[in-house]
């Protein structure tokens, strides 16, 4: 089974950087790593994805370990609007989201 | 683009009744996914289609659940008969090519079975 593991919850102070970790112990060579977030009462929304190299976009940065067994989503300056559940996935034949990491941002 | 459209947004039904959830994917997307979300189990993939063909339905919990995609712009998820343990939020998502491309989720249908 293509599964990822994440901490259940994390806290961050507003305007501080946040590093959200994910373990991809069963990842295969062709699996992409995706990150999504889910705001309260909404469907998940795409944040970022990558294969081997670190990636940046307007929302966040994605750091991928050299062995690809772990990845880190980096929010450079957390805002109150970033409070959400963050999911990491690895794509194979099935998209496993799990229960994600609930991020609390403290004003 | 209107994004992924789901209907109804809320459904309340009695145990034993048939429930049909509907989804219109983003035009041009060739993958469609149905998910179920509960507090206990989180977000679970139920089934996905590629070019209207079911590819993996191993997440469908039992025979009471069925999904169809008669054309590229419409899919249904049916539960018959419904049970209280089916109460959840059901999401539809679509993507282009599937593997390396992001999924776009609909707003979800909140199903309550009493």
* pLDDT tens-digit series, residues B88-99: 999 999 998 755
SS3 B82: coil
Predicted local confidence at residue A59, as pLDDT: 87
Predicted local confidence at residue A32, as pLDDT: 87
**Residues with Cβ within 8 Å of residue B109, at least 6 apart in sequence:** B6, B7, B8, B9, B10, B11, B21, B89, B90, B91
Query: Which residue, among A91, A13, A24, A22, has the nearest Cα to A62 in the 3D structure?
Result: A22
Cβ of residue B96 closer than 8 Å to a chain A Cβ: no
Share of chain B above pLDDT 90, in %: 81
Which phi-psi region, left, alpha or beta, contains residue B30 (left: φ > 0; alpha: ψ -120 to 50)?
Answer: alpha
Burial of A99 per CB tally in 10 Å (0-12, 13-18, 19+): middle
The whole-angstrom distance between A48's CA and the closest CA on chain B is 8
Query: Which residue, among B104, B109, B89, has the nearest Cα to B30 in the 3D structure?
Result: B104
pLDDT, average across residues B9-15:
97
d(CA B49, CA B63): 18
Cβ of residue B105 closer than 8 Å to a chain A Cβ: yes
Q: Which positions of chain A have pLDDT values less than 50?
A: 93
Query: Which residue, among B99, B77, B85, B91, has the nearest Cα to B36 in the 3D structure?
Result: B91
The whole-angstrom distance between A77's CA and the closest CA on chain B is 24
């Amino acid at each position: 089974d293509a599964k990822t593991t994440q901490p259940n919850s994390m806290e961050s102070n507003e305007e501080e950087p946040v590093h959200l970790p994910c373990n991809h112990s069963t990842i295969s060579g062709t699996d992409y790593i995706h990150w999504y977030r889910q705001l309260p009462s909404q469907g998940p929304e795409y944040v970022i994805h990558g294969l081997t190299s670190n990636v940046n976009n307007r929302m966040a940065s994605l750091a991928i370990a050299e062995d690809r067994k772990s990845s880190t989503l980096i929010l450079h300056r957390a805002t109150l609007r970033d409070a959400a559940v963050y999911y990491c996935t690895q794509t194979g034949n099935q998209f496993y989201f799990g229960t994600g990491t609930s991020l609390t941002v403290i004003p | 683009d209107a994004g992924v459209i789901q209907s109804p947004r809320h459904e309340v039904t009695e145990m034993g009744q048939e429930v049909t959830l509907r989804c219109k994917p983003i035009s041009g997307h060739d993958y469609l996914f149905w998910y179920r979300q509960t507090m206990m189990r989180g977000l679970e993939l139920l089934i996905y289609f590629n070019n209207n063909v079911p590819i993996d339905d191993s997440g469908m919990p039992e025979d009471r659940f069925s999904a169809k995609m008669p054309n590229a712009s419409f899919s249904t998820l049916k539960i018959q008969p419904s049970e209280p343990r089916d109460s959840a939020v059901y999401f539809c998502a679509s993507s282009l090519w599937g593997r390396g491309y992001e999924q776009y989720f609909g707003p979800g249908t909140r199903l309550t079975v009493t």
